[in-house]
A and B are shown apart, each in its own frame.
Chain A
Amino acid sequence: NAGVTQTPKFQVLKTGQSMTLQCAQDMNHNSMYWYRQDPGMGLRLIYYSASEGTTDKGEVPNGYNVSRLNKREFSLRLESAAPSQTSVYFCASSGGASGRDIYNEQFFGPGTRLTVL
């Protein structure tokens, strides 16, 4: 099992460019998440998907859109990148959905390091 995979590992964008961060999990988990981590800070939730076909905003959703393509894949899109979006982005998944197994641990990917100039 690869667990949670993310692509790309590194990306440099210019202000105003767009890009999509890809995330996939092979653990048959129902829930998936996107976090960002700024230097010296903890992680902050951007969006999550409790189950296939649903998405919800987290703590810092502005400037981002997400797509739960299927049960395995959850993508994060920056439509018009800004320097404030320079960060490390982590995708995570967990088994819980609809209140069942809600205390399941979250499994994290290796992260995408994004710099916006």
Chain B
Amino acid sequence: DAKTTQPPSMDCAEGRAANLPCNHSTISGNEYVYWYRQIHSQGPQYIIHGLKNNETNEMASLIITEDRKSSTLILPHATLRDTAVYYCIVRVAYSGAGSYQLTFGKGTKLSVIP
């Protein structure tokens, strides 16, 4: 699976949009971009995933650049409960052993400030 690079930490004011970047310059054509988050001491929580089109759900939006070498997770109106570590993960999308593994890096620690 392609490696990802994320800033170690970010701050965001409560109520403002949080934009979390991720670089995945070696991504292959059959790899999806996933985002998970981990609120302190809890198990990770799925947020969103995409292949090449922008995606939106009730939690967030995912913007993937046209060359797919980077992406941005957007939390449109950050709240204090969004304070967490956010993981950007690239995973193959084919049948086989690799399709089951999520490779977590160190992620970005997002602190939402009142």
Contact = CB atoms under 8 A, between A and B. Distances in A.
B12 to A, nearest CB: 21
Contacts, number: 65
B93 A102 contact: yes
B45 interface: yes
Given A33-B100, A98-B95, A41 B46 contact: no
Interface stretch (B20-28, B61-69, B104-112): B104-112
A15 B25 CA distance: 43
Contacts of A63: none
Interface residues of B, number: 25
Interface in B74-114: 87, 91, 93-97, 99-107
Nearest to A32: B100
Interface of A: 4, 31, 33, 35, 40-45, 48, 50, 56, 58-59, 90, 92, 94, 96, 98-99, 102-103, 105-111
Interface of B: 32, 34, 41-46, 49, 87, 91, 93-97, 99-107
27 contacts: A31-B100, A42-B87, A42-B105, A42-B106, A43-B102, A45-B102, A45-B103, A50-B97, A50-B100, A56-B97, A56-B100, A59-B101, A99-B99, A102-B93, A102-B95, A102-B99, A103-B32, A103-B49, A103-B91, A105-B49, A106-B44, A106-B46, A106-B102, A107-B46, A108-B43, A110-B42, A110-B43
